[in-house]
Amino acid sequence: MNGQEPMKASHVEVEMPEKGAHLSEEGVIPLAATEGLNIFHLSKPNPFLKDLEPLKKAGLIPPGVLLYNANTPLRLLFRLSGTIVRAVLFSYSFWLIMSVHVFLSVMYYRMGFQHTRTDTTNVKHTDWPFLRSSTYTGFLGTLVSFCLVFQTTQSYNRFFRQYECCGEIVRNARAFHRAMRGVFDDGTCPGAKATRHRLYKYIIAKMYLGFAWLPHYRRVQVNVWVFDYLRREGFFTPQEAEQIANIPKHAKPFGMIAKWIQLLLHREQQRGNISDRALDRLMTNIRGLNRHVGILNEYASMPVPFAFYHLLNVMAIGYLLLLAYTQVFSSYFYGIFPMALTALVTLGLRELSNALADPFNEDDTDIAILDMAASARAEFKAILDFELPDYENKED
């Protein structure tokens, strides 16, 4: 139109690097633009995660999240750390069942029947009670498999419900910190910086103590270590530390900290330093945080009913002991290997269900909740005194 040629769609070909090529300044990512500096500090470790190393070395908290590549199953097949196989191999149940099976095999083939196998065709020639696997272990095995799978599914759902609570705690704390950072920015009100720093300490201490006061961590006194750590890091004044140390036996310190936050915010609102809308926004985040900390403690305080766990345990052990006897007759000593695999899988499902149902211990499969608190602390601290770069509004 108007004597101009119509625009043509341009096509730009981008030469992609070969597989395995280094992403240097000659590759796709322009690292030369950073002038050799790691501007995002990708290799800089989180110092607050490092502070938790004594607890991890002592085996009091889980080592962290295990990341893996699911596309390399054979490479991961022989890994023991972070797996339930390791827990089964260190359990008394597995070695009891295998010892019974090996003992019966030796007694039957070496001492009683001189390598003679027994099946339905020659069952009359043995003095040992012959039990058909299909009759006695078939029905029981199906029932045990169904119940263990059902328990594992329910435990998996319970695990992710508790993980979601941990995530909601961090998300509510993050939303509170970001809103608080804007409300109490420097110059917005008298003492804004001091109030901001105090609220930052309260919200971090509430997360740490909320996680450390779960039943298992209280039993192994991780809560004592966390309280002393926060005290040494300056999160409490001497008066505040004394109040927390002297709380009643059944009280929880993160509840006390929640009251401190509420009183501080209401005081600032009464002084006219923050609006009613800002107060409501901050209190909404605090209520969400309190709610999910409470749900997490309720889950941790109420394990899977013992009667349910006990019945499944009796079924699994009884089934494997019966199988250890019936597999002696027709398999010779070769039956040791399938027997070991059956025991490993059956007991593995049991151990996996137990681990998923209670993910706040020191096992490799547990949720690293204190790592989550340490990561949130590093994130919050980075924006605590962050200042926007200077800019000017210029008219066109």
**In the 3-class helix/strand/coil scheme, how is 292-348 assigned residue by residue?**
HHHHHHHHHHCCCCHHHHHHHHHHHHHHHHHHHHHHHHHHHHHHHHHHHHHHHHHHH
Q: Please state the pTM of the whole predicted model.
A: 0.81
Q: What is the mean pLDDT of residues 302-324?
A: 90
Band (pLDDT 50/70/90 cuts) for residue 4 is very low
Judge contact between 265 and 293, C-beta under 8 A: no
- Domain total for the chain? 1
Band (pLDDT 50/70/90 cuts) for residue 11 is very low
pLDDT cut 90: percent of the chain above it: 49
Check residue 108 and give its pLDDT: 78
Q: Which residue has the tokens 């980075």?
A: 382
pLDDT at 140 over 60: yes
CA distance 344 to 302: 28
Half-sphere exposure of 395 (CA within 13 A, CB side): 0
Residue 327 domain-assigned (yes or no): yes
Task: Report pLDDT digits (tens) over 339-368.
Answer: 999 999 999 999 999 999 999 988 888 899
The closest alpha carbon to 326, from 313, 310, 339, 307, belongs to 339
Residue 47 domain-assigned (yes or no): no
Helix axes 222-232, 238-245, angle to 10 degrees: 170
Q: Which residue has the tokens 């027994």?
A: 118
Task: Report pLDDT digits (tens) over 34-90.
Answer: 555 555 555 577 889 999 999 999 999 998 888 888 888 888 888 888 888 988 999
Sequence letter at residue 100 = V
pLDDT at 321 over 60: yes
pLDDT at 28 over 90: no
Residue 17 domain-assigned (yes or no): no
Residue 326 domain-assigned (yes or no): yes
| Residue 67 exposed, middle or buried by CB count within 10 Å (0-12, 13-18, 19+) | exposed
The closest alpha carbon to 153, from 349, 301, 299, belongs to 349
Check residue 361 and give its pLDDT: 87
Q: Which residues contact 204 (CB under 8 A, 6 or more apart)?
A: 173, 230, 235, 373, 376, 377, 380
Please give the C-alpha separations between residue 375 and each of 93, 135, 239, in angstroms, as whole numbers: 39, 56, 28
Please give the C-alpha separations between residue 326 and each of 97, 119, 219, in angstroms, as whole numbers: 13, 10, 43
In degrees, to the nearest 5, what angle opens at C-alpha 328 toward C-alphas 339 and 129?
A: 135
Domain span at residue 351 reads: 104-113+131-384
Residue 10 domain-assigned (yes or no): no
Check residue 8 and give its pLDDT: 47
pLDDT at 228 over 80: yes
Task: Report pLDDT digits (tens) over 157-196.
Answer: 999 999 999 999 999 999 999 999 989 988 888 999 999 9
Q: Tokens in use for 388? A: 């926007």
Task: Report pLDDT digits (tens) over 252-280.
Answer: 899 999 999 999 999 999 999 999 999 99
Sequence letter at residue 58 = A
Check residue 177 and give its pLDDT: 94
Please give the C-alpha separations between residue 56 and each of 17, 49, 206, 208, in angstroms, as whole numbers: 41, 10, 21, 16
Residue 169 domain-assigned (yes or no): yes
CA distance 213 to 267: 28
Check residue 186 and give its pLDDT: 86
Check residue 383 and give its pLDDT: 87
Residue 389 domain-assigned (yes or no): no
Task: State the average pLDDT for the chain.
Answer: 83
Residue 364 domain-assigned (yes or no): yes
Q: Which residues contact 81 (CB under 8 A, 6 or more apart)?
A: 66, 364
Check residue 130 and give its pLDDT: 60
Task: Report pLDDT digits (tens) over 93-129.
Answer: 999 999 999 998 888 777 655 555 555 444 455 566 6
Q: Which residues contact 51 (CB under 8 A, 6 or more apart)?
A: 229, 374
Check residue 238 and give its pLDDT: 93
CA distance 201 to 259: 14
Torsion 16-17-23-27 (CA) sign: negative
Phi-psi sector, 3: left (phi>0), alpha (psi -120 to 50), beta? left
